[in-house]
Homo-oligomer: A and B are copies of this chain.
């Protein structure tokens, strides 16, 4: 009988923002997997480090940086095969996922490959828009309002059109796309209604108005644009 696969959200950064369920599952896990970047770092492992049991087997999944879809797909295939090997021995595997597993998460690609192999349980995590809004004290949406989440990696005309059409917007994945986003928000007259958060809930969290944001923020920075006044306020 196959082991179970758990996709566990570990939240945006502060280890106290793990859920009780996530903390409990990680503490009990004998096999813990996570993504590592090109430099060997793992944000998810860093967040969850205090909960990983001594002697747990760790499966570090290297993803090639700035690689094409084929190389990335092959890396996910290889990662899924490694995890399947453990599951096939009847052992559970907990995959640590920064933020929420199904919100811009790598777990989506592992799940797609392992869906036929094992029972899968997903534990939601605090996603960065909620963490960013909390840090700024800026509402995401209320009453009949809508919320659009979009990556700054989109082409500038698409970004402009989507933000123009939204009631409120969270723009993620800033990094080198920040100058483009600033132009769009200036053109739309929304710069004054935008809050900036970098590395929400980490010790080096930075929050400010858009005008005071650094020119080249982290990839893990986001902007929240609120257009409406909150009703009843």
Please give the residue numbers on chain A whose beta carbons come within 8 Å of chain B beta carbons, in ascending order: 7, 9, 11-12, 14-21, 23-24, 69, 72-73, 76, 100-105, 108-109, 111-113, 115, 120, 122-127, 130-131, 133-135, 137-151, 153-154, 162, 165-166, 230-233
State whether A233 and B112 are in contact (beta carbons under 8 Å apart), knowing that A9-B130, A125-B126, A146-B150 are contacts in the complex. Answer: yes
CB-based contact A137/B154 at 8 Å: no
State whether A141 and B104 are in contact (beta carbons under 8 Å apart), knowing that A122-B134, A146-B151, A162-B146 are contacts in the complex. Answer: yes
Most buried by B among A24, A100, A230: A100
CB-based contact A232/B109 at 8 Å: yes
| Bound CA span A139–B7, Å | 12
State the number of copies, please: 2
| Bound CA span A216–B76, Å | 41
Q: Besides the contacts A147-B150, A165-B165, what 12 more A-B pairs have beta carbons closer than 8 Å?
A: A16-B24, A18-B20, A19-B126, A102-B139, A104-B142, A108-B139, A108-B142, A108-B233, A109-B232, A112-B232, A122-B134, A146-B151
| Bound CA span A196–B112, Å | 20
CB-based contact A19/B18 at 8 Å: yes
**How far in angstroms is the closest Cβ of chain B from A85?**
20
A69 contacts across to B, CB distance below 8 A: 231-232
Most buried by B among A131, A154, A230, A233: A233
| Bound CA span A111–B133, Å | 13
CB-based contact B76/A103 at 8 Å: no
CB-based contact A124/B113 at 8 Å: no
